[in-house]
A and B are shown apart, each in its own frame.
Chain A
Amino acid sequence: MRALLAFLLMLASAPVLAQSALPPAPYADRQIDDPALEKKARALMETIRCLTCQSQSIADSNASMAGDMRSEIRQRIMAGEQPEHIRAWLIERYGDWVSYEPTAAPILWPLWGAPVVLLLLGLLLLRGRIRKGKRP
């Protein structure tokens, strides 16, 4: 399966050949000097989905648009903007799809409820298997 994944990623990165020759945006591959801010930015970038390559986060992508988004995010973080505000701004433009981190949108409630439901279902099944009553 990994082989397939690798192949997929190759296809995803193929458009690299057709990308602009312009140098990367200033903060595309440059870390913020303040490590705390960089950590914030990095955490956000890992949860933003790359638009031109579809199954990568922008943190991992070599696509130039992902680089521009990284630069945009780093610059906004440096300007003091909160990561969740930037995420909301991106979702306003691209929809929930752009965030790898599922949002609190109603359509995603079942996803957050799933662990509870599954655990309860499991415990229900388990109940019949365990002997009730006191230990002799």
Chain B
Amino acid sequence: MRKMLIWLPLVLFLGFFGLFASGLLKPDDRLITSKMVGKPLPDFTLPPAASDRPALASSQLATGKPRLLNIFASWCVPCAAEAPQLMALQKAGVEIDAIAIRDARTDVDRFLGRYGNPYARIGLDARSAVQIALGSSGVPETFVIDGEGRIAYQHIGDIRADDVPMILDRLRNAQ
């Protein structure tokens, strides 16, 4: 009994060592993914966020065809960085709707004027309420919504040029 106890500290330490090593080896993404993926969109109705685009409601996203739902804000720098990729996706025939977070209509208009407007509809989420309901943890994020209004995929952070084919794949898989 005592013999075993004597070696217990070393055994415990080796366990901790393994834990530390695994923590170091595994690149930690630190991303908090939405647990809503695979579930239907929560119900929401938002007012329009831009002067030349209609408002957005959750019911309008279940159109029988997969679409993208982009979460962005005019005050967010990475959102401007991903604008060209969204334009490219739109040119490829993807329908994109958006939710502008904590924003004002004049700012959104200016942002879209400067970086392009790939969106069909834009809803204004002034208090992040829909963002929270979606399980989204920041801007920008992009959700793939399947034809039945279910969340099929969540992309966290800005869409880089090399992410575009992957997003198109996800849309195809969501058919």
Direct touch of chains A and B (CB < 8 A): yes
* A22-B103 in contact given A52-B138, A69-B128, A72-B129 (Cβ < 8 Å): yes
Interface membership of A95, Cβ < 8 A: yes
Q: List residues 1-59 of chain A with CB under 8 A from any CB of chain B.
A: 18-22, 25, 51-52, 54
The answer to whether A95 and B101 have CB atoms under 8 Å apart is no
Bitwise interface map of A from 57 to 71 toward B, beta carbon under 8 Å scored 1, else 0: 000000011001101
Interface membership of B117, Cβ < 8 A: no
The answer to whether A92 and B132 have CB atoms under 8 Å apart is no
CA–CA, A65 to B135, complex, Å? Answer: 12
* A72-B127 in contact given A18-B75, A51-B138, A64-B102 (Cβ < 8 Å): yes
CA–CA, A1 to B126, complex, Å? Answer: 38
Dominant secondary structure at the B interface? loop
Q: List residues 114-133 of chain B with CB under 8 A from any CB of chain A.
A: 126-129, 131-133
CA–CA, A90 to B134, complex, Å? Answer: 10
CA–CA, A71 to B76, complex, Å? Answer: 22
Dominant secondary structure at the A interface? helix
**A interface size (C-beta, 8 A):** 24
Q: Which residues of A sit under 8 angstroms from B137, Cβ to Cβ?
A: 51-52, 65, 94
Interface membership of B26, Cβ < 8 A: no
Q: Which residues of A sit under 8 angstroms from B73, Cβ to Cβ?
A: 20
* A51-B75 in contact given A64-B102, A94-B135 (Cβ < 8 Å): no
CA–CA, A95 to B34, complex, Å? Answer: 8
Q: Which residues of B sit under 8 angstroms from A19, Cβ to Cβ?
A: 75, 102
Interface membership of A112, Cβ < 8 A: no
B residues near A (Cβ < 8 Å) are 5, 30, 32-36, 73, 75-77, 101-104, 126-129, 131-135, 137-138
A residues near B (Cβ < 8 Å) are 18-22, 25, 51-52, 54, 64-65, 68-69, 71-72, 90-95, 97-98, 125
